[in-house]
Structure 1
Amino acid sequence: SNYKKLMFFLSLILSSGSIAIQLFLLASPLVQRYCYKGNSNLAHIFVPGSVKTEANIKQAAARKINALVKNARDVHGDTNEASASFGQGLINFSLQENNVEKAGGFLWTWKRIFNGELSTVEGVWISARIWAGNLAQVLISLFIIVFGVVRT
């Protein structure tokens, strides 16, 4: 019947995709080690996601430390210890109070998730468990809404 043919081809496509993914994961360490010497485009494809995430977090940490040092130099200035005082630091701090960066909020967060800045700039990594839980909540909510509309 047509249903059996459809299920056969669908299972064939899904199993072929699963085998291809497993072969890719099996071959990626060998490709990383032997094949791409100096070719960064090929290396980027075969690097695991955890390595990329760790690099993004380190990049964000370096950015934040540089910003912290820059802010400290702006507040305290490039003066020597003899002319520096606590009062001058407070005055400089009050002059810098308008230099703010907007952060947070629903749309701000999702925009940064999609363009990758949440991990590269902010250093926030969202684990796979949170993504799976979030997806499950959305799917269950959609099921309840659709089933509720059909049922009533």
Structure 2
Amino acid sequence: SNYKKLMFFLSLILSSGSIAIQLFLLASPLVQRYCYKGNSNLAHIFVPGSVKTEANIKQAAARKINALVKNARDVHGDTNEANASFGQGLINFSLQEKNVEKAGGFLWTWKRIFNGELLTVEGIWISARIWAGNLAQVLISLFIIVFGVVRT
């Protein structure tokens, strides 16, 4: 029957996809070790996601440390004079108060999630459990709205 044919082709497609993914995961360490040597595009495909995430977090940490040092140099100046005082640092800090960076908010956060800056620039990694919980909330809300409209 048509149903059996459909199920056969569907299971064939899903199993082929599963086998392809397993072969990709099996071959990726070998490809990383022996084949790409200098070809960064090929290497990027076979690098696990956890390695990319760790690199992004380290890049964000380096950016934050550089910004911290730059701000400290702006406040205290570039000189290493012995007569530099705490009071002068406070005066310089108050002069820097107009140099602000807008952060936070609903749209700000979602924009950075979608363009990847939340991880690479801010160093904020969102756990898979949070994503799963968020997706479950959205699906349950849609279910309640759809069936609530149908029932009333």
Q: TM-score range by the shorter chain?
A: over 0.9
Shift of 1:5: 2.0
Q: What's the RMSD between the two structures over aligned residues?
A: 1.2
Task: State the 1:77 CA deviation.
Answer: 0.4
Shift of the alpha carbon at 1:28? 0.8
**Identity over the aligned pairs, expressed in percent?**
97
Runs of 4+ in 1 over 6 A off after TM superposition: none
Deviating more after overlay: 17-26 vs 88-97: 17-26
SS of equivalent residue, structure 1 residue 32: helix
Shift of residue 32 of structure 1? 0.8
Please name the residue that 2:54 is paired with.
54
* Cα distance, 1:138 vs structure 2: 1.4
1:23-47 CA-to-partner distances (Å, cap 9, x unmatched) read 1111111111111111100000000
Structure 1 alignment gaps of length 5 or more: none
Q: Distance in 2 between matches of 1:144 and 1:119?
A: 33
Structure 2 unmatched runs, 5+:
none
Map of 1:69 onto structure 2: 69
| CA deviations over 1:67-89 (Å, ceiling 9, x no partner) | 00000000000223323011111
Q: CA deviation at 1:4?
A: 2.4
Instruction: Give 1:151 deviation, angstroms.
Output: 2.6
SS in 2 for 1:15: helix
Which shows bigger deviation, 5-14 or 102-111? 5-14
How far does residue 22 in structure 1 lie from its aligned partner after superposition? 1.3
* CA drift at 1:91: 0.7
Cα deviations by residue, 1:91-141 (Å, 9 ceiling, x for unpaired): 100000010000011111111111111111000111111111211221222
**Residue 147 of structure 1, CA deviation:** 2.1
Deviation at 1:6, TM superposition (A): 1.9
Instruction: Report how far residue 12 of structure 1 moved.
Output: 1.6
C-alpha distance in 2, partners of 1:129/1:114?
18
* 1:150 shift after superposition: 2.3
1:132 aligns with 2:132: yes
TM superposition shift of 1:11: 1.9
- C-alpha distance in 2, partners of 1:36/1:7? 39
CA distance in 2, matches of 1:125, 1:93: 31
Q: TM-score w.r.t. structure 2 length?
A: 0.94
d(CA) in 1 for partners of 2:87 and 2:65?
A: 25
**What are the superposed Cα offsets for residues 54-78 of structure 1, whole Å, 9 maximum, x if unpaired?**
0000000000000000000000002
